[in-house]
């Protein structure tokens, strides 16, 4: 019960005291172990499985996109998502006077 006991941290008595410069050893069976190198065939099989999963997800996304496009088309929306603007008679007559409407004027 001297001064030494008061300055040492209490580690619960489970592990030995760590000294400066000591590196903790990893426990066996943890994630720090290096995995065994996989064979080329195993790597190719894993890559093929990833591609198959990606293809399935891509097909689902395409189906959703097509359904949205059909819904927008049948809903009467324009490509930008805004309904087409109807032209008033005043706007139409102004276009005709400016010559912006094709097919209505005769040229000789």
pLDDT of residue 50: 96
Buried b / exposed e along 21-56 (16+ C-beta atoms within 10 A): eeeeeeeeeeeeeeeeeeeeeeeeeeeeeeeeeeee
What residue spans of the chain are helical by DSSP H? Answer: 3-7, 40-75, 89-98
Sorted by sequence, the CB contacts under 8 Å of residue 24 that are 6+ apart come out as: 18
pLDDT of residue 108: 41
Is the per-residue pLDDT at 72 higher than 90?
no
* pTM score, whole prediction: 0.36
Here the tokens at position 95 are 């276009």
pLDDT of residue 83: 67
Residues counted in the chain: 108
Mean pLDDT for the chain overall: 74
């Amino acid at each position: 019960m001297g001064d030494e006991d008061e300055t040492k941290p209490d580690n619960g008595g489970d592990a030995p005291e760590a000294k400066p410069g000591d590196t903790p050893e990893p426990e066996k069976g943890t994630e720090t172990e290096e995995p065994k190198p996989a064979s080329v065939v195993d790597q190719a099989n894993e890559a093929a499985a990833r591609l198959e999963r990606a293809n399935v997800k891509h097909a689902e996304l395409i189906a959703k996109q097509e359904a949205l496009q059909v819904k927008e088309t049948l809903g009467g929306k324009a490509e930008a998502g805004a309904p087409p603007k109807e032209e008033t008679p005043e706007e139409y007559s102004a276009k005709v006077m400016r010559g912006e409407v094709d097919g209505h004027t005769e040229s000789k």
